[in-house]
Amino acid sequence: MAHQLIGYAVFLPLLGFLINGLVGRKLRSENLVGIIGSATVGIGFVIACVIFFEMMGSGVEERVHIVHLFSWISAGSLNVSFAYQVDQLSVLMMLIVTGVGFLIHVYSIGYMHGDPGFWRFFAYMNLFIFAMLNLVLADNFLLLFLGWEGVGLCSYLLIGFWYDRKFEKGTTGDAAKKAFIVNRIGDFGFLIGMFLIFVTFGTLNFQGVFAQAGTMSVGSPVIFWMTLALFVGATGKSAQIPLFVWLPDAMAGPTPVSALIHAATMVTAGVYMVARCSLLYALAPATMEIVAIIGAATALLAATIGLVQNDIKKVLAYSTVSQLGYMFLALGVGAFAAGLFHLMTHAFFKALLFLGSGSVIHAMHGEQDIQKMGGLKKYLPITYWTFFIAMIAIAGIFPFSGFFSKDEILWKVFSNGTWGLWLVGLVGAALTAFYMSRLTVLTFDGEKRWGSDKHPHESPKTMTVPLIILALLSVVGGFVGVPASLGGGNAIDHWLEPVFERANLVMALPGHGMETIEYVLMALSVGVGVGGILLARLWYLKKQEVPQQLSTKVPGLYKLLWNKYYVDEAYDAAVVTPIQKSSETLLWRIVDVGMIDGLVNGLAKFFGGVSKVIRMGQTGVAQNYVFVFLLGVVVILGWLIAH
Amino acid sequence: MPVSLASYLALSAILFTIGVAGVLTRRNAIVVFMCIELMLNSVNLTLIAFSSFMGDITGQVLVFFVMAVAAAEAAVGLAIVISLFRNKQTVNIDEINILKW
Amino acid sequence: MFLIVASLAIASALLMILQKNPVMSAIYLIANFFCIALLYLLLQAQLLAVLQIVVYTGAIMVLVVFVIMLLNLGDETKLTEKFDMKKIISVVLVTGFLIEMVYIFGFSGDGIGRMPMSSQAANLGTVESMGAALFTRFLLPFEVTSLLLLAAIVGAVVLARKQS
């Protein structure tokens, strides 16, 4: 059966990592390194497709397989093995990871051409794919966590890939550290959640946990804390409030890294994890509310920040944070399938946007400030058109993929009765359309704002072909989720239904609302999307003085947005600096130097002192030695006589 | 009355003790050396006494070897004393304390 | 007879350690060695008595006297002159040692001390029996001792050489 090939699919990228990591530098041929790196992922994609088709052909009950590789930890009551749960959800994630990953690997062959760390890049990327596959395929929490940590590590390695480059106020290494540390804070929450799960259910295995959870009652406090702790981990990995601050800084890494890790895959790990634990979240309505509110708030907050950013990658980074907020919003109201649908379409068009921006940056020889671009559509036609398609998709215009997924989410939020959140989502959609259009216009349209020192030209085929493929997917990718109201069968919802069956039973979702309302909402969201696009085109192409005037009329608001609400500064003052200062004074000076060093040195000094006294016995006069000798003999003889 | 073994052994013990006393109290290196020879001789006496009283020749053979070794040791020891004297111009033991810490 | 020789031996030994002139000490030691040779004769060890005189007094003491002359040593302070702590403790210690030794040798054991002299004693000490034993049972130590003597000769020559 095809699902038994899963082991190969997961471990081939690891092999790629080892090959490229150990001998990549000596291979001397960029193409060979690139081919090895891409092929491992490509083969994984092929295997995923085979498994997928086999699943489609088999009955619904036979679609879940557990493939056991080897036993990992067996200690007391804790039994964890390297085993993969091949079901609808994990196969979907696997297709996304390997498919988009493969395209990005191919793109990187062109993008990273000439870089001295070429081999290192592909090694890290393969390691990342390995970790991510472990994450989405794991059948227990611990293996998931292994992948979770692994992708965090690879994120660190890849963000700081150009380790000697400056980035904003520090180096790329600082950005990488920030990502890792903020992730770690979230991971602490994840660990607490895992401990609670083990204590409550006695196992870390998904099937075991969910079987027992089915017997628990809704609203029990332990499940609340468990799911909340896991969600903290998700906020760290998926850049939600309050742990989103690392994602914009992560743009210090090469653009393919941003596309793969910080758009399509790693940041979606939190969404996947919550979806996988849908039953647990269904049993904790309070946590679901928190998830939804945070998702909506993040979506809005990030969108507002993205309005005024001038770095092409920063805008896309905040856009990612915002779209992830939408996914969590969906999860929070119980629309798990919708959230995952949006995850898939977002992977397509966000990866496309990042890769396109990479093409632009490549053509402009490293320039990333959109205020210094403009008029590039003449020089980079393929990049322009694919970027444009992606922009329309993310704005949610019918019939592109983003429309179906985002609309599904908004519809589910509305019919859940949470109109406030729906409104926030709608406003967010409008802002999304606006700032994405602004980005496109400032980059590609209008007059060129750059000098004759730049010679932009279209990128090579290894870079443009993935762009085209992703654009195609952005166009047609939505058709797997056409809702019933528009005559479709909502294939993706049905596909994922068995995974969320138990959760749906617990939640007793409200039934489908009136179809007319659904049409109204659809029209509204398309309307605000189109409106946002057109307004941006108006302001930035024709009436360019309007945004200028706005920024001078409300300088306070503009500054607030431009400085990202001063969140970084707040964290720095409240958390980072106190910890640093207290570590330095207390832990370093007092404990480390004073106590530990003092103890070690003191011990040495003590022995020195003792030996100084004892060595006085060596007088060098032989008679003294004879004297002592005799003394000993006398004592021993006396003892022998006495006994 | 024939002399018993005990008397010989007691004599030997006394001579040995006198030798030890000499080693501890004299300050001339050569005199110390002579006292050591005295100690050796007392041990020889013990050996021969046992050999005679028990009828085993081993004791006497041993004394033979002890004498040979003592001769060798005397030669080398005195050579050392001579070279010490050359370096330090004294054979006073209290002043030959090169082994001091 | 034994008592006379024994007391002579003890007397000469005592005198030896009490002298301030090293040459006098050497002479008293020679007297002591003679007494011991006589004791050997009393014990029927003829060969060894002769060897004692030839090797010890004849060779070793001559060497010692030569060295004393060579170094031209002066007199040492008399033993009874300086009374410092070290000497007192030494005397006490040595007395204790003496008591112990006498006790061990004289009064302990299962009546060994009262053993009569062996009937074979006379035959044991002759040159023939010693020679027979040396060249049969104790041949290996015999040969090794010759090596030892060679080493001693070389060592003495090397050590006492003038540094040139």
Q: Kindly list the domain boundaries of chain C, sorted by start residue.
A: 1-74
Instruction: Measure the CA–CA gap between B52 and A633, rounded to whole angstroms.
Output: 28
pLDDT band at C115 (very low <50, low <70, confident <90, very high): low
Start-to-end CA distance of chain A, whole Å, equals 87
Are C105 and B15 a contacting pair, CB within 8 Å?
Answer: no
Please answer yes or no on whether A618 and B99 come within 8 Å at the CB atom: yes
- pLDDT of B21 above 90: no
Q: What is the pLDDT of residue C112?
A: 61
pLDDT band at B47 (very low <50, low <70, confident <90, very high): very high
- Chain B CB contacts of A608 under 8 Å are none
Are C129 and C122 a contacting pair, CB within 8 Å?
Answer: no
Across chain C, mean pLDDT equals 81
Residue B93 lies in a domain: no
DSSP label of A592 = I
* Weakest-pLDDT range from A12-16, A332-336, A519-523: A519-523
Are A363 and A457 a contacting pair, CB within 8 Å?
Answer: yes
* Weakest-pLDDT range from A319-323, A366-370, A526-530: A366-370
Q: What is the CATH number of domain C1-74?
A: 1.20.120.1200
Nearest-by-CA chain B residue for C142:
B65
Start-to-end CA distance of chain B, whole Å, equals 57
Among residues 47-106 of chain C, which lie with CB inside 8 Å of chain A?
Answer: 90, 93-94, 96-97, 100-101, 103-104
Nearest-by-CA chain A residue for C94:
A630
Across chain A, mean pLDDT equals 84
Partner residues linked to C154 by β-bridges? none
Residue B60 lies in a domain: yes
Please answer yes or no on whether A622 and B93 come within 8 Å at the CB atom: yes
pLDDT band at B43 (very low <50, low <70, confident <90, very high): very high
Q: Is the pTM of this model over 0.95?
A: no
- The ipTM value here is 0.87
| φ, ψ (nearest 5 deg) of residue B72 | -60, -45
Mean pLDDT of A161-169: 77
Q: What is the pLDDT of residue C78?
A: 56
Output the six-digit token pair for A492: 């993706």
Residue B72 lies in a domain: yes
Instruction: Measure the CA–CA gap between A438 and A537, rounded to whole angstroms.
Output: 7
Instruction: Measure the CA–CA gap between B60 and B40, rounded to whole angstroms.
Output: 14
* Residue in B35, B60, B69 closest to C45 by CB: B60
| Domain CATH code at residue B48 | 1.10.287.3510
Nearest-by-CA chain C residue for B3:
C2
Please answer yes or no on whether B96 and A627 come within 8 Å at the CB atom: no
Mean pLDDT of A155-182: 83
- pLDDT of C117 above 70: no
Residue B19 lies in a domain: yes
Query: Tokens 């930890």 correspond to what residue?
Result: A73
Q: What stretch of H or E contains A70?
A: strand A65-75
Partner residues linked to A82 by β-bridges? A70
pLDDT in tens, A34-80: 888 888 889 989 988 888 888 888 777 777 788 888 888 888 878 88
What's the burial of A21, exposed, middle or buried (CB within 10 Å: 0-12/13-18/19+)?
middle
Instruction: Measure the CA–CA gap between A543 and B97, rounded to whole angstroms.
Output: 104
Minimal CA–CA distance to A51: which of A38, A65, A40? A65
Residues A404, A407, A408: CA angle, nearest 5 degrees: 80
Q: What is the pLDDT of residue C148?
A: 93
Domain boundaries, chain A: 1-139, 140-562, 568-642
Q: What stretch of H or E contains A29?
A: none
| φ, ψ (nearest 5 deg) of residue B98 | -65, -25
- pLDDT of C32 above 80: yes
The percentage of residues in chain C with a pLDDT greater than 70, rounded to a whole number, is 77
- Chain C CB contacts of B64 under 8 Å are 48, 51, 130, 134
Please report, for residues A42, A423, A429, A510, A587, the alpha-carbon distance to residue A414 in angstroms, rounded to integers and kept in the order given: 40, 9, 14, 11, 52
Mean pLDDT of A454-481: 82
Instruction: Measure the CA–CA gap between A318 and A304, rounded to whole angstroms.
Output: 9
Q: What is the pLDDT of residue A242?
A: 85
- The alpha carbon of A607 is separated from its chain's Cα centroid by a whole number of angstroms, namely 55
- pLDDT of C122 above 60: yes
Residue A620 C-alpha, separation from nearest chain C C-alpha, in angstroms: 16
Residue C54 C-alpha, separation from nearest chain A C-alpha, in angstroms: 30
Q: What is the pLDDT of residue A111?
A: 87
Neighbours of A506 (CB within 10 A): 22
Q: What is the pLDDT of residue C71?
A: 80
Mean pLDDT of A294-310: 88
pLDDT band at C143 (very low <50, low <70, confident <90, very high): very high
pLDDT band at A6 (very low <50, low <70, confident <90, very high): confident
pLDDT band at C114 (very low <50, low <70, confident <90, very high): low
- pLDDT of B60 above 70: yes
Q: What is the pLDDT of residue A508?
A: 66
Minimal CA–CA distance to A446: which of A523, A536, A312? A536
- pLDDT of C79 above 60: no
Query: Tokens 């034994």 correspond to what residue?
Result: C2
pLDDT in tens, A496-509: 877 787 777 777 66
pLDDT in tens, A22-43: 887 777 777 888 888 888 889 9
pLDDT in tens, A208-243: 888 888 787 777 888 888 899 999 999 888 888 888
Start-to-end CA distance of chain C, whole Å, equals 55
Residues 6+ apart with CB under 8 A from A93: A136, A268, A272
Are A360 and A443 a contacting pair, CB within 8 Å?
Answer: yes
With contact defined as 3+ CB pairs under 8 Å, the chains touching A are: B, C
Q: What is the pLDDT of residue C164?
A: 59
Please answer yes or no on whether A618 and B100 come within 8 Å at the CB atom: yes
| φ, ψ (nearest 5 deg) of residue B44 | -55, -45
Q: What is the pLDDT of residue A127?
A: 92
- pLDDT of A128 above 80: yes
Mean pLDDT of C107-120: 63
